[in-house]
Amino acid sequence: MRSYAKINLFLHILGKRADNYHELQSIFYFPEIYDELEVIRSDKFELYVAGEFADKIPQIPKENIIYKTLLELKRLYPEKITDISVFLTKNLPVAAGIGGGSANAATTLNVLNELFALELSKEKLAEIGLKIGADVPSCVYSKPMIVTGVGEGIELLDGHTENLLSPLSSSLTLKWERGLLGNNFFPKLNILLINPLKSVSTKQIFEMGFKNYSEEIKIEKNKLFKQEYIFELLHRTKNDLQENAIKLCPEIAEILESLNATNPIIARMSGSGATCFAIYETKEKLENAALQINENLPKYWVKTA
């Protein structure tokens, strides 16, 4: 099963709560870039990792998010869940601001739900995922969405989503109906991603603090199926973590300078970095930009979607 990367089209930090967690506002987008995960029943937990970033995955079970996900399901459904063997093709860089680990945990939830016939709704899987990581609930769906709170407030944007049957949990806020865009769809974006093959500590970024918090912006949700409106929205938003991340990883500034030289609609960092992305009006402009970036930054991880 595919385990999709997550991109924050923008990321605003609205303030700090009494429990020291930060409130955020963001739009998540899931491009066609992914890890791959296969799972079979086993008499003991085993993890086999291949792919470009295989050497970055912890082999000690207690340090691995896939194993933590298995343990959580075992705790909740001890009579149904056995051990598993996991085959992970790790194509996405680790600790890169694109939700790779969270996506792997979410995919594990989806796969085990099917493998062990748990018959859990997506909402219930997302509720379980929130105990594993703040980005896991969104990755359970892997569809365009507005995210608020500390990551638990999810408003799906595509118009083809099914209705939820179970009542809303107290820990997870989901707004579905038929999707916020009615019968319309969030458009596919032409995206270029770059990572300098360096990780950035999310914890350090938040510990550095913020000069000012952002105000929550108004999003005209009924216009989000129009590419022009999305571009306009991106021009009046930002990533509030970007400034601190650049102090920890100056290569981010270098990447953004190179991306802006390709005349994109927007170029910014995703999540807590160090992955950056740029969006282009057409596939042709995207491909031309990728050629230019590969020439200028040949040692970096570069992908198009």
Annotated active-site residue in 35, 124, 135, 303: 135
Is 135 a catalytic site residue?
A: yes
Is 238 a catalytic site residue?
A: no
With beta carbons less than 8 A apart as the criterion, state whether 255 and 296 touch.
no
With beta carbons less than 8 A apart as the criterion, state whether 114 and 94 touch.
no
- Which residue do the tokens 């930090």 mark? 13
Q: What is the dihedral of CA 194, 154, 190, 35, to 10 degrees?
A: 50
With beta carbons less than 8 A apart as the criterion, state whether 196 and 255 touch.
yes
DSSP code per residue over 170-234: SS-EEE-TT-TTTT--PPP-EEEEEE-S----HHHHHHT--SSPPPPPP--GGGTT-HHHHHHHH
b/e 122-147 (16+ beta carbons within 10 angstroms → b): bbbbbbbbbebbbbbbbbbbbbbbbb
With beta carbons less than 8 A apart as the criterion, state whether 91 and 104 touch.
no
Annotated active-site residue in 6, 143, 285, 303: 6
Other Cβ atoms less than 10 A from the Cβ of 197: the count is 13
Other Cβ atoms less than 10 A from the Cβ of 17: the count is 11
Query: What is the phi-psi region of residue 142: left when phi exceeds 0, alpha when psi lies from -120 to 50, beta otherwise?
Result: left
273, two tokens: 């970095």
Q: Which residues are catalytic?
A: 6, 135
